[in-house]
Amino acid sequence: MNKYQALCLSILLFAVQLVQAQSKPEWNNVFSSINQEVLTNSKAYASLKEASETIGHRLTGSVNGAKAEAYAYQLLKAAGFKNLRYQPFEVESWSRGNLSVAIGSDTNHLLPIKSVSLAHSPVQSNISNEVVDMGNGLEEDYLANPGKVKGKIALVYLGVVAESKPGTGTLHRSEKAAIATKYGAIGFILINTAEGGILLTGTASVTGKLIPIPAICISKEQGIKFREDLKTGKLFAHIKMNNFSGMIKSRNVVATIPGKTLPNEKIVVGGHLDSWDLATGAIDNGIGSFAVLDMARTYAALKLQPARTVEFVLFMGEEEGLLGSKAYVKAAIKDKSIEQLRYMLNYDMTNDPKGYSTTDEGSKALFQSIGAIAHSLDSNFTNRGAAGGKLPNNSGPCYHADCDVFSLVDKKGMENTVRFNAMLLYGIADAKEITAKHLSDNETKEFMLKSNLKVPLQIAGEWRWKD
């Protein structure tokens, strides 16, 4: 063996020892039990199927939303949780009413167009005017055509149009709506990127409050046609809508397992239970939230109690602006339990994971050690890549859309989410040491910059740093 080979071997042995040092011998038996329990008794797929068929959508503040909260609570109660509660909150929210949209080249002969309102559009709106193509709807598109959209209706592509210069980025739909409003548009028409006539909803507000102009989404096919029509002539639109905005009541559902030896350190595992109302929200976020419910059931069935406290949270109001999450944090700050929080695992549209990932550099060895045990139980878990996995059955285009239905769900993918993430949760909650910590103000700023969040937060008016 030459010196180079010896050095490589020593590095490899050190890496193996480092990974082994992060785990405990008893985890092998615990993870094996989790694996067997989920493969034999998982209720994730069946529960989501029943909820989709008997409840439908799970819009926060609606009758259906309240049914979903009660359904989740009863599942956890049936699993045997005693430390189980609702966390009620009351906030301002939005829900859609009626909408009619007509577009054409002649103001006297406008044709009805299939469309949906974007959330946080005005309670009442009735506008008519010329439609102008603003391309990607980025700041540069408006600066290139000063005054073009003022007093008119902006037509904007959700993604990046084909003729864009290389490297052109995009923004969230709400940020594009904010820019259109800034430059004087009186209406906002968003072209979806998914093919097949799919319509998309979601908020058009960067603040979670009502926006001043009506915002709608139309299909990709219809939008591309309008963009072509505008190259040779004019288009006009009439948008009439009414919506609801006011105070609503909702509830997060919280189930807790006290830690065995470190009860004052808490690991939160959650997912948003709510969905938009165009479909049943099976993918967004049924596959995530019902996986969390089944992770909780698995822990109860096996009577698992890791060193740290584990709190399973089904959040409501995510779609309207993280309403349930904000209520949870507000309460945690008030009772100072926020100081106990050591890690948060969030499951949103999570499916069939092959590896674990973390934003904390110091936790990567721990995650790898947990993943190594998972890999030993199932080699399909490669212990590489992101934790989210790939969405099933080409369901990506149905994000926030009228085609997000239960038939898209993959049973095996949900089971894999439950078993591998139940292992990850136990490993973190039972680890000898957790390096993740609360960030200082300056560390938070640096993290935001590194994550390219400065511009979106500035548009939302939430960038609190002056430089």
Mean pLDDT by 10 residues, the chain (467 residues): 38 35 86 98 98 97 97 98 97 94 94 97 98 98 96 98 95 96 98 97 93 98 98 97 96 98 98 97 98 98 98 96 95 96 96 92 92 96 84 95 97 98 98 90 91 85 86
Specify the DSSP class assigned to residue 186: S
Buried b vs exposed e over 161-196: b needs ≥16 C-beta within 10 Å?
Answer: beebeeeeebbbbbbbbbbbbebebbbbbbbbbbee
Q: What is the dihedral of CA 171, 177, 179, 180, to 10 degrees?
A: 130
Cα 456 from Cα 460, distance rounded (Å): 6
Domains of the chain with CATH codes: 24-83+258-436 (3.40.630.10), 95-244 (3.50.30.30)
Tens digit of each residue's pLDDT (9 = 90 or more) over 394-437: 999 999 999 999 999 999 999 999 999 999 999 999 999 998 88
Indicate the pairing of strand 262-272 with strand 308-315.
parallel
Conformation bin of residue 434: beta by default, left when phi > 0, alpha when psi is -120 to 50: beta
Instruction: Note whether 319 and 205 are within 8 A (CB).
Output: no
Buried b vs exposed e over 370-405: b needs ≥16 C-beta within 10 Å?
Answer: bbbbbbebeeebebeeebbbebbeebebbbbbbbbb
Residue 10 confidence (pLDDT): 34
Residue 347 confidence (pLDDT): 97
DSSP letter for each residue of 283-345: IIIIHHHHHHHHHHHHHHHHT---SEEEEEEEE--STTTSHHHHHHHHHHHHTTGGGGEEEEE
The whole model's pTM is what? 0.90
Residue 456 confidence (pLDDT): 83
Token code pair at residue 128: 């008519």
Tens digit of each residue's pLDDT (9 = 90 or more) over 149-189: 999 999 999 999 999 999 999 999 999 999 999 999 999 99
Residue 262 confidence (pLDDT): 98
Any residues with CB less than 8 A from the CB of 289 and at least 6 apart, and which? 72, 271, 272, 273, 314, 347
Cα 188 from Cα 254, distance rounded (Å): 39
Q: Name residue 138's amino acid.
A: L
Q: What is the CA radius of gyration of the chain?
A: 24
